[in-house]
């Protein structure tokens, strides 16, 4: 067997699992892509209509323009988490995860297939919201590389956290607890709808403990060149958090925690 054929055979397994994860969410795209896009647009319509004339966060930036990047990033994070976590919990409950575990895939290949699919779903949802939101108001782009970096690493971080949640949970109600008591509160209290500088000093300090805040603030900085925190600090926090969670996930996968009897 040639060297090229060996490399091809090594990647066939993870590529197949990755393709399966892509098809899993794309075949129900009305639920996995269209639904979160519609939800974000409803937030945009309601909040922009009510607060457009009453709130201005940055000088020269209308509230609607301020709101859109936050909604995009919130949707990216929530959908990246939902993709990997829902796939794993469904496979565990339905009993078909064993067929994936029986393959000669390494724990790293398993991790990368689920992670990349989660990243793609998050980015697709975010791109759809951005394209539709352009009908409302044209957004400036101060630094496209920052926009991409925060969208990529943010979806990677939440995709990894989704894998951890999917491994840990044994029932759908346990997964719902992750969504309702961790993901949703952190999303809504991260500065999507406001700047933390509008909060009292104590709550500003509390907000700075929320990793979602740094992802959303850094993503918004890429559009306006303005933010509550330096984008380099935000990116370092997001990147470090991803590496820590990735290390923990790989340890869980290698040990077979809650995956192998």
Q: What is the pLDDT of residues 30-39, one digit of tens each?
A: 999 999 999 9
Residue 189 has pLDDT above 70, yes or no: yes
Task: Give the residue carrying structure tokens 């399966």.
Answer: 20
Q: Provide the pLDDT for residue 146.
A: 96
pLDDT, tens digit, for every residue of 246-259? Answer: 999 999 999 988 88
> Does 49 fall in a domain?
yes
> Does 160 fall in a domain?
yes
Q: Provide the pLDDT for residue 100.
A: 85
Q: What is the mean pLDDT of residues 167-187?
A: 90
Q: Provide the pLDDT for residue 5.
A: 46
> Does 82 fall in a domain?
yes
Residue 119 has pLDDT above 50, yes or no: yes
Q: Provide the pLDDT for residue 7.
A: 45
> Does 55 fall in a domain?
yes
Number of domains in the chain: 1
Please, what is the average pLDDT of the chain? Answer: 89
Q: What is the mean pLDDT of residues 93-117?
A: 90
Q: What is the mean pLDDT of residues 15-36?
A: 92
54 — pLDDT class (breaks 50, 70, 90):
low
3-state secondary structure of 59: coil
% the chain with pLDDT above 90: 59
> Does 16 fall in a domain?
no
> Does 261 fall in a domain?
no
Q: Provide the pLDDT for residue 55.
A: 63
| Cα distance between residue 234 and residue 191, in whole Å | 14
Residue 9 has pLDDT above 80, yes or no: no
Long-range contacts from 247-255, C-beta under 8 angstroms, 24+ separation: 248/164, 249/111, 249/160, 249/163, 249/164, 249/167, 250/107, 250/108, 250/111, 252/164, 252/167, 253/107, 253/110, 253/111, 253/163, 253/167, 254/107
Q: Which domain holds residue 202?
A: 31-255
3-state secondary structure of 209: coil
What is the DSSP-derived secondary structure letter of residue 139?
A: P
Q: Provide the pLDDT for residue 194.
A: 82
| Cα distance between residue 168 and residue 259, in whole Å | 9
| Cα distance between residue 9 and residue 116, in whole Å | 19
The angle formed by the CA atoms of residues 110, 173 and 79, to the nearest 5 degrees, is 50
> Does 162 fall in a domain?
yes
Residue 73 has pLDDT above 50, yes or no: yes
Residue 52 has pLDDT above 90, yes or no: no
> Does 7 fall in a domain?
no
């Amino acid at each position: 067997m040639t060297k090229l054929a060996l490399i091809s055979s090594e990647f066939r397994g993870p590529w197949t699992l990755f393709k399966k994860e892509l098809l899993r969410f794309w075949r129900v795209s009305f639920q996995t892509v269209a639904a979160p896009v519609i939800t974000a647009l409803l937030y945009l319509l309601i909040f922009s209509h009510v607060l457009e004339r009453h709130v201005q966060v940055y000088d020269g930036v209308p509230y609607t323009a301020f709101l859109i990047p936050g909604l995009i990033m919130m949707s990216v994070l929530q959908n990246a988490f939902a993709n990997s976590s829902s796939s794993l919990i469904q496979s565990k409950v339905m009993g078909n995860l064993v067929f994936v575990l029986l393959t000669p895939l390494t724990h790293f290949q398993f991790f990368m297939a689920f992670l990349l699919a989660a990243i793609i779903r998050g980015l697709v949802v975010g791109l759809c919201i951005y394209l539709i939101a352009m009908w409302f108001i044209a957004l400036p782009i101060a630094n496209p590389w920052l926009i991409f970096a925060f969208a990529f690493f943010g979806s990677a971080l939440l995709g990894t956290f989704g894998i951890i949640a999917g491994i840990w949970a044994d029932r759908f109600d346990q997964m719902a607890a992750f969504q309702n008591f961790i993901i949703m509160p952190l999303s809504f209290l991260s500065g999507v709808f406001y700047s933390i500088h509008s909060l009292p000093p104590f709550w500003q300090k509390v907000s700075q403990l929320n990793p979602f805040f740094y992802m959303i603030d850094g993503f918004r900085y890429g559009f306006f060149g303005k933010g509550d925190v330096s984008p380099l600090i935000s990116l370092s926090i997001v990147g470090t958090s991803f590496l820590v969670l990735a290390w923990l996930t790989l340890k869980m996968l290698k040990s077979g925690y809650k995956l192998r009897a």
